[in-house]
Amino acid sequence: MSFHKPLDEIFPSVPDGLDARALDPAQVPAHVAVIMDGNGRWAKERGKVRLAGHKAGIGAVRETIRCASDVGVRYLTIYAFSSENWKRPEDEVRGLMDLFAKTMLAEVDGLHEEHVRVMTIGDASALPPKTRQAFAEAWEKTRNNTGMTLVVSVNYGGRAEILRAANDIAREAAAKQAAGVPFAPVDEAAFARHLDTADIPDPDLVIRTSGEMRISNFLLWQIAYSEFYITDVLWPDFDRYDFLRALLDFQGRTRRFGGVK
């Protein structure tokens, strides 16, 4: 196991008190999921509109993607827009949708060069056409890449996802019953195959910025045994060293998955 780049290229100026060499390449989490929170507060602190915070957050997204890919994370899921975020003021929602479209179009070539595969989870059908197309094009262009998978959660809600799966399963069960097939209970693996994350392993590590201690309807099924790391840093200020802190903290945990070590 090794990093994709020399450590001093990934972390060129490590702050005092942090040791990048302590990072074990064999213990890098395969799947990191991030709740990018605090854009609004970041903007407010600077007397700016909320959208300015979201725009500033793009830099942190770029840096986190690059760093995660360089250290060998296989899946990085980012919570870009929840199914509840439609309740925000109309201009913020519109601004975010434009930002997603523009950012995806601007970044896809760079992501492709880094062999990143870009996909979405959530109900993309409700997105404005421009935004939906930008994500669809990113998927088309990168779908055969074998590097890190970037999973963008957009119009995503954990409960809605579980309901969609339950309804799929109920529909299949009704069809089977009508065909006279005897009842067979659904197990966890079969249920998980109906989720948006069917082909994605559960997150090992969930990071939330801005100090909030809640899960906000994110990956409810998938986080059953995830480790949590919460930092007070506001998302636009989150950088590779904050990501390194989260990884080192994760590597210090003992995961028991309900058993004993």
Q: Which residues are catalytic?
A: 37, 85
Q: Between residues 20 and 33, which has the closer beta carbon with respect to ligand FPP? A: 33
Q: What is the rounded CA–CA span in Å between residue 74 and residue 202?
A: 12
Residues 196-235 within binding reach of ligand FPP (CB under 6 A)? 210, 235
Residue 157 binds ligand FPP, judged by CB under 6 A:
no
Q: What is the rounded CA–CA span in Å between residue 108 and residue 160?
A: 28
Q: What is the rounded CA–CA span in Å between residue 68 and residue 71?
A: 5
Whole-number minimum distance, CB 248 to ligand FPP, in Å?
24
Q: Which stretch binds ligand FPP (CB under 6 A): 37-45, 63-71, 175-183, 224-232?
A: 37-45
Please report the beta strands in the chain, taking only residues with DSSP state E, as ranges in sequence order: 31-35, 75-82, 117-121, 149-156, 205-208, 227-230
* Given 29, 38, 72, 157, the residue binding ligand FPP (CB under 6 A): 38
Question: Mask: binding to ligand FPP, 116-155, rule CB under 6 A, as x and -?
Answer: ------------------------------------x---
Residue owning tokens 């809640």: 214
Whole-number minimum distance, CB 147 to ligand FPP, in Å?
18
Q: Between residues 29 and 57, which has the closer beta carbon with respect to ligand FPP? A: 57
233 CB-contact burial (10 Å; exposed 0-12 / middle 13-18 / buried 19+): buried
- How far is CA 213 from each of CA 23, 85, 104, 118, 205, rounded to the nearest angstrom? 26, 18, 29, 28, 15
Q: Which stretch binds ligand FPP (CB under 6 A): 31-39, 109-117, 186-194, 248-256?
A: 31-39
Whole-number minimum distance, CB 200 to ligand FPP, in Å?
17
Residue 40 binds ligand FPP, judged by CB under 6 A:
yes
Helix (H) / strand (E) element for 190: namely helix 188-192
Q: Between residues 28 and 154, which has the closer beta carbon with respect to ligand FPP? A: 154
Q: Between residues 50 and 66, which has the closer beta carbon with respect to ligand FPP? A: 50
Q: For residue 69, give the 3-state DSSP assignment.
A: helix
Q: What is the rounded CA–CA span in Å between residue 80 and residue 122?
A: 10
Q: Between residues 93 and 192, which has the closer beta carbon with respect to ligand FPP? A: 93
Residue 95 binds ligand FPP, judged by CB under 6 A:
no
Residue 226 near residue 259, CB atoms below 8 Å: no
Q: Which stretch binds ligand FPP (CB under 6 A): 2-10, 96-104, 191-199, 246-254?
A: 96-104
169: nearest Cα among 157, 153, 187, 155: 187
Helix (H) / strand (E) element for 171: namely helix 158-178
Residues that bind ligand FPP (CB under 6 A): 36-41, 50, 54, 57-58, 61, 78, 80, 85, 99-100, 103-104, 152, 210, 235
